[in-house]
Structure 1
Amino acid sequence: MKVLSTGKLKTTIKDHLKENYPELTFQFFSSMGEAEPYLSEAEVLLTYGEDVNDTLIQKATQLKWIMVLSAGLERMPLQAIKEKNILLTNARGIHRIPMAEYTLSVMLQVARDTKVVLANESSKIWKKKTPIREITGSTIGIIGTGAIGSEIARVAKTFRIKTLGVNRSGHKVEHFDEIYKNEDLLTMLPKCDFVISVLPSTNETMNYFKKEQFLAMKDSGVFINIGRGDTVKEQDLIDALNENQLAHAVLDVFKNEPLDPSHPFWEMENVTVTPHHSAISDNYQPRAIEIFEHNLRQYQNRLNDYKNVIDPDRGY
């Protein structure tokens, strides 16, 4: 069985896979461009999910399983994968620790006015009085109560934060004090000091946050997006911030990346821009490969206890 990888895997991981699975033929490449001549022979593909298209799926005549070494699937040719009945799994869940740490860190940064403090430091301005507040005892609303949202809620409890969550059915989730259905979002938003979106990119979540949602938030509220950029109608968010309908936005994801230098977000004092790095961690690849190895054992032994099987119709 040939396993082809188009991700830039660490040497230690490549050596580990070759040593522990000598019966398999691994082909490691740094890009799809390098790997494409060998794609027609591969039964398994390891990819970050941004280098596969319809044409390549048609060329991959032996392909039976795609393991996406990330959570995002918005660039995957899901219809073509469905038509060829290719098993699709991803690394959902590996981001929960770094993304929870990121979320709590930016909450503290906004609460302690760190953006201004750093600007003052750069300009050698000694200004002791800044509008600093505490996050302890506040209320957060997390839209998306899966592995990442649940970990954010768990960590938030350290600060005695009240945790509210939104999911499709309103089913209870550990670490959340209250859960709301999607249709009850506007009831929850006015209660939140911080609103955190962990939404994926799907047809259902496109422009999920727009004027109506921002109007429902507290004018002292902070919006944090670590999900996907197209879940937010950007102009509506800009208008809401300019009209002081909310206090601040921390944005790690955008509709178009990298964010254009001319985009208004860069210049807005009440916006913090980070370069889609909330999930970055030195443990990223080891955690993703751990899921791959679990699924590989299932695949080799014709079992069916796969982790993170993706429904191509839903996109998650």
Structure 2
Amino acid sequence: MMLVYFTFDSRPDLQQQLLDQFPQVTFVFHNEIDNNVLAQADVIVTYGEDLTEDHIEIAQNLKWIFVASAGVEMMPHEKIAEREILVSNVRGIHKKPMAESVLAHILSLKRSLPYIYQNQKNRIWNKRGGNPSELNGSTAFIIGPGAIGAELGRILQAFQVNTIGFNRSGQSAPYMNETYQITELKNHLPKADIVISILPSTKETKHLFQYEHFQLMKDSAIFMNFGRGDLVETDLLIRVLEEKLIGHAVLDVFEEEPLPSNSKLWDLDNITISPHCSSHSTRYLERSFEIFVPSLEKWLKGETDLENKMDILRGY
């Protein structure tokens, strides 16, 4: 009997769904990896942060890893590729909650909500302050216009925002008014009101944003990183914000997580710090299972053309 090993616990109703739908499969759910179970596992379901090279070595029966996350940078890529283990993930399930999170931050800044909240806390009635502006008519750059970027573009266009996408190929992307190659980014940055990165962590994207990128941006621009923290070097970002080269930064990801309590980023007044929670939702696991269940059905029939199959060495 096939053994599917979840290296995290999940909601009892979702577990029961699997047990009812796949009586021919043995499911094991653990919060910590048990090497004895691992050695027998045909399939592993993981968040992608707990598997080591040693685990892959122990899991001699392993043929497929399903990652209930979009990022796989913490997994032992080479060892997995060497064993030719298939990897698939839940790319796309973040698009609704993440797009709503990005939009919430943009509207909060545009409509001066932090100022309003602070005045309420201090019992101050002031109709004049906060300097509110409007989102409509803005130009937003979406760097990495995949599933999340497309959903964000769809919503922003409803607010009459001009959406410009940047990807590797420069080929048109859904809900982008224009699309260019990432290598052309510097040529267009001066016209951006909002710059949103949803890039994964790869060799090409590490420290992609340099000082000159921020120099080219409007001093009123909002820079938002919702992809991976190594897009910008932390010390560089601190310098940019201290020099007020841009209007505001909204960061959901950081080079070091959790962000240390002594980081200078906490002290700046032109930054919003979100603790890598923009994709969180009470419906997260439910959405993950909506991808996993059809994939498991295929797998049991001997099919390997699964949704969101990845090239583990490329990281996506």
Per the alignment, residue 27 of structure 2 pairs with 26
Q: Separation in 2 of the partners of 1:304 and 1:59?
A: 23
Per the alignment, residue 268 of structure 1 pairs with 268
Greater mean alpha carbon deviation, residues 125-134 or residues 139-148: 125-134
- Does 2:82 match 1:83? yes
Give the CA deviation at 1:179.
Answer: 0.4
- Does 2:178 match 1:178? yes
Q: Is the 1:8–1:31 Cα contact (8 Å) retained in structure 2? A: no
TM-score, normalised to structure 2, is: 0.97
User: Structure 2 matches for 1:275-286, cutoff 5 A?
Assistant: 275-286=275-286
Q: Separation in 1 of the partners of 2:188 and 2:104?
A: 23
Per the alignment, residue 244 of structure 1 pairs with 244
Give the CA deviation at 1:147.
Answer: 0.2
- Does 2:161 match 1:161? yes
* Amino acid corresponding to residue 134 of structure 2 in structure 1: E
Q: Separation in 2 of the partners of 1:214 and 1:308?
A: 34
* Amino acid corresponding to residue 156 of structure 1 in structure 2: L
**Structure 1 residue runs without a partner (length 5+):** none
Give the CA deviation at 1:126.
Answer: 2.2
* Amino acid corresponding to residue 296 of structure 1 in structure 2: L
Give the CA deviation at 1:119.
Answer: 2.1
Give the CA deviation at 1:125.
Answer: 2.3
TM-score, normalised to structure 1, is: 0.97
Give the CA deviation at 1:49.
Answer: 0.4
Per the alignment, residue 314 of structure 1 pairs with 314
Per the alignment, residue 103 of structure 1 pairs with 102
Deviation digits for residues 286-308 of structure 1, max 9, x if unmatched? 11111111211221112243111
Greater mean alpha carbon deviation, residues 230-239 or residues 133-142: 230-239
Give the CA deviation at 1:120.
Answer: 2.2
Q: Separation in 2 of the partners of 1:209 and 1:36?
A: 41
Per the alignment, residue 136 of structure 2 pairs with 136
* Amino acid corresponding to residue 158 of structure 2 in structure 1: T
- Does 2:42 match 1:13? no
Give the CA deviation at 1:285.
Answer: 0.7
RMSD between superposed Cα atoms in Å: 1.1
Secondary structure at the counterpart of residue 72 of structure 2: coil
Q: Is the 1:3–1:42 Cα contact (8 Å) retained in structure 2? A: yes
Give the CA deviation at 1:123.
Answer: 2.0
Q: Separation in 2 of the partners of 1:266 and 1:211?
A: 20
Deviation digits for residues 153-194 of structure 1, max 9, x if unmatched? 001111011000100000111210000101101122211110
**Structure 2 residue runs without a partner (length 5+):** none
Give the CA deviation at 1:75.
Answer: 0.3
Q: Separation in 2 of the partners of 1:219 and 1:195?
A: 12
Question: 4+ residue stretches of structure 1 with deviation over 3 A?
Answer: none
Q: Separation in 2 of the partners of 1:188 and 1:237?
A: 20
Give the CA deviation at 1:117.
Answer: 2.2
Q: Give the % identical residues.
A: 42
Q: Separation in 2 of the partners of 1:31 and 1:152?
A: 36
Deviation digits for residues 264-284 of structure 1, max 9, x if unmatched? 111111000011111011111
Deviation digits for residues 27-82 of structure 1, max 9, x if unmatched? 011222xx333100000000000100111110111111000001011101110000
Secondary structure at the counterpart of residue 109 of structure 2: helix
User: Structure 2 matches for 1:206-217, cutoff 5 A?
Assistant: 206-217=206-217
Q: Separation in 2 of the partners of 1:233 and 1:213?
A: 13
